[in-house]
Structure 1
């Protein structure tokens, strides 16, 4: 199942610098591990914001839930999830071109 996920991050300004560095480092490693596994298909930065738009390809809702809750920065995020379905006009879908 494909999901588009927007993640807005709001790390408290009073968080200790070493704790912030640790969280961000762990977040990057976790994200890259999921990209290598093929579950985190795309990640784009939202210009001018501490936000990203990502596409996940996972087995089901529960798999996505587990991944999102495992994000080290999850406690500091607002997340919006949109399930995706293939569009009939998508040339990549392999349908006939008319």
Structure 2
């Protein structure tokens, strides 16, 4: 197989792949337009109401432990040697 034939086969392969991708994109667009229209002809169901959000309880002990371990690892220090006075989000 010569170089020209190899290039031609590669171009044909790429064009087939991209052609099929374009075809699938068009099929997906058509389906996204057709199926909601068909579903809209039936009974309309009321939208479900959102549940009340759960109260947020912040337990920062795990975050403090992780941050302390990272600092100790970077400084090659023992956690008992450090005194972390506060952690604030930046």
TM-score bucket (shorter structure): under 0.3
Q: If the length of structure 1 is used for normalisation, what is the TM-score?
A: 0.24
Structure with the higher fraction of residues in strand conformation:
1
> Which one has more relative contact order, counting CA pairs under 8 Å at least 6 apart?
1
Richer in helix (by share): 2
